[in-house]
């Protein structure tokens, strides 16, 4: 059990905390004793999985899914399955939805889970004042009615991905009575869900400890205790697993992954996941409004070389925000590496290596394997054709803050997760102007995207998104880089089921 004072923990910071663990000042329990310790790559800034910027961080879903359950479940291969809803669907004319609620489920505080909790959670998610970043999806249904364990609701505006979202970001059910009793602040201090693990202890920037839910409707989880140790530095995460201080970790440099998986006592898996490395372009500066500059920046990037040299071949180059597993992926859309063309485009706008266009590009450092080094390589490629970019490093939480305020730098690296594989949740939310998650905001693009949100003909809807992706590529409105393969290293005494969503959920780890 980890037991350290808040003051001592905060003074140590992540690095000092790890050092204390390695020095033996803080006792560590191995997985074999009933505790699973995960060296995790991000902190959890909020325990409400339905509000605020952290609710749309795909990485944190591993923690949220441990404490809470979603309306609809999702298997590691991304297939949907019953969650707190056992069945769901539309009326024939798409004017109503129906949902059957799971019976015999209890909240972590021992109270009964009811259909009222589902209605309250959906109503709260749809309320603009509640702060749900996906409010404009949840607001598409209203006028709920409960009959036994079946809920029906009117469709205010058709949303083709509604039930997909119930297995995705912010799609969590919270306890109505408990939340109203303790309020937002009380919920942050002690969150209550119906999930496989229960909140036990939290020390900001250090760790989160969870206890197994003995009455979980899906069966008691494999470990009595799970510790998420927050280690934001990728090299330190590799040290955690090599020293034995942690049982499993993720998102370490690929050369470290290859080295560690070959060591006795360790195993490794690098599964292609639904995450896309991309660079947002903000149309807030004159340089970014220049189509020649945007396209030159894209044509100057040798994605194949980046994947081969920096990522050791772990990755798939992309020309759109749709990965091959996504519903609207179109292999015909190509934006080739062509530094000569990039230089010619810049020359048309009066730029050259001797007289470069200048701007700032933001990036995380250690959030994803080689994220900073990848941007360094790209900046080097740009320099050769006439782009002088200055790198600014920020934490992922800062990215969300700046993006929501439309204050990102002219270019900003990000890892976009889309576990449901729908074009609305990749191209749509990343590029539609009214979306709080977009950086490029323009009337011409919005006019092309707008009609697709409510398109009822599925074939026409997907074709429409492919056309939007083609337009974005032609105009250079975003820079897709690659589909990631997620490196996970774990002790050989464990067995791990890879999750294509990228969420390293403790329920997918068991004793071998």
User: Domain boundaries in the chain?
Assistant: 69-176, 273-486
Q: What is the pLDDT of residue 6?
A: 31
Burial of 227 (0-12, 13-18, 19+ CB in 10 A): buried
The model's pTM is 0.80
Residue 355, both tokens: 């007289």
Residue by residue, what is the 3-state secondary structure of 96-111?
EEEEEECCCCECCCCC
Q: What is the pLDDT of residue 34?
A: 94
Q: 19 by DSSP, 3-state: which?
A: helix
Q: Which CATH architecture has domain 69-176?
A: Alpha-Beta Complex (3.90)
170/167 Cα distance (integer angstroms): 9
Q: What is the pLDDT of residue 454?
A: 85
Give residue 153's Cα distance to chain centre: 29
Write out the H or E segment, with its range, that includes residue 343. helix 339-348
| 260 backbone dihedrals φ, ψ, rounded to 5° | -70, -35
Q: Does domain 273-486 have CATH number 3.30.1360.120?
A: no
Q: What is the pLDDT of residue 30?
A: 56
Q: How far is CA 74 from CA 61, 69, 218, in A?
A: 12, 11, 13
Whose CA is closest to 25, among 5, 39, 42, 44?
A: 5
Q: What is the pLDDT of residue 65?
A: 98
Compute mean pLDDT per 10 residues along the chain, 512 residues long, and list them. Answer: 32 41 42 87 95 89 98 94 97 96 98 98 97 94 98 95 96 98 97 98 95 96 97 94 97 94 97 94 96 98 96 95 93 97 98 98 92 97 98 94 95 94 94 94 97 91 98 98 96 96 95 92
Residue 243 contacts residue 231 (beta carbons within 8 Å): no
436/97 Cα distance (integer angstroms): 27
């Amino acid at each position: 059990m980890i037991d350290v004072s808040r003051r001592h923990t905060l003074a140590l910071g992540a690095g000092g905390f790890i050092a204390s663990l390695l020095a033996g000042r803080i006792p560590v329990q191995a997985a074999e004793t009933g505790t699973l310790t995960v060296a995790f790559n991000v902190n959890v800034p909020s325990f409400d999985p339905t509000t605020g910027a952290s609710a749309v961080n795909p990485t944190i879903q591993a923690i949220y899914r441990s404490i809470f359950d979603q309306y609809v479940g999702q298997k590691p291969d991304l297939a949907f399955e019953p969650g707190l809803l056992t069945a769901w669907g539309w009326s024939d004319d798409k004017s109503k939805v129906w949902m059957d609620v799971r019976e015999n489920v209890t909240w972590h505080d021992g109270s009964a889970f009811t259909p009222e909790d589902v209605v309250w959670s959906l109503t709260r998610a749809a309320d603009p004042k509640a702060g749900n970043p996906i409010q404009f999806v949840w607001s598409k249904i209203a006028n709920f009615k409960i009959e036994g364990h079946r809920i029906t609701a009117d469709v205010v505006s058709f949303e083709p991905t509604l039930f997909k979202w119930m297995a995705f970001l912010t799609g969590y059910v919270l306890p109505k009575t408990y939340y109203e009793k303790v309020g937002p602040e009380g919920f942050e201090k002690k969150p209550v869900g119906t999930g496989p693990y229960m909140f036990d202890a939290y020390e900001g920037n250090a760790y989160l400890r969870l206890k197994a839910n003995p009455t979980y409707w899906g069966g008691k989880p494999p470990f009595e205790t799970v510790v998420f140790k927050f280690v934001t530095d990728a090299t330190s995460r590799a040290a955690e697993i090599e020293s034995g201080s942690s049982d499993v970790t993720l998102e370490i440099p690929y050369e470290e992954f290859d080295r560690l998986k070959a060591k006795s006592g360790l195993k490794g898996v690098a599964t292609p996941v639904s995450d896309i490395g991309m660079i947002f372009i903000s149309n807030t500066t004159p340089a970014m409004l220049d189509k020649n500059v945007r396209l030159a920046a894209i044509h100057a990037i040798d994605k194949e070389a980046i994947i081969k040299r920096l990522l050791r071949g772990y990755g798939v180059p992309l020309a759109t925000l749709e990965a091959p597993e996504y519903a609207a992926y179109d292999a015909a859309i190509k934006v080739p590496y062509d530094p000569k063309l990039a230089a010619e485009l810049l020359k048309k706008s009066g730029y050259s290596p001797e007289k470069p266009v200048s701007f700032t590009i933001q990036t995380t450092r250690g959030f994803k394997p080689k994220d900073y080094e990848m941007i360094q390589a790209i900046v080097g490629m740009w320099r050769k054709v006439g782009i002088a970019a200055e790198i600014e490093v920020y934490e992922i939480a800062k990215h969300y803050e700046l993006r929501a305020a439309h204050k990102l730098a002219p270019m900003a690296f990000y890892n976009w997760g889309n576990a449901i594989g729908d074009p609305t949740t990749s191209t749509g939310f990343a590029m539609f102007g009214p979306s709080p998650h977009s950086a490029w905001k323009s009337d011409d693009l919005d006019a092309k995207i707008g009609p697709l949100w409510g398109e009822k003909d599925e074939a026409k809807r997907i074709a429409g998104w492919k056309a939007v992706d083609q337009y974005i590529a032609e105009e250079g409105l975003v820079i897709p880089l690659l589909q990631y393969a997620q490196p996970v290293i774990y002790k050989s005494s464990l067995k791990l089921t890879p999750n294509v969503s990228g969420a390293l959920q403790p329920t997918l780890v068991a004793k071998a």
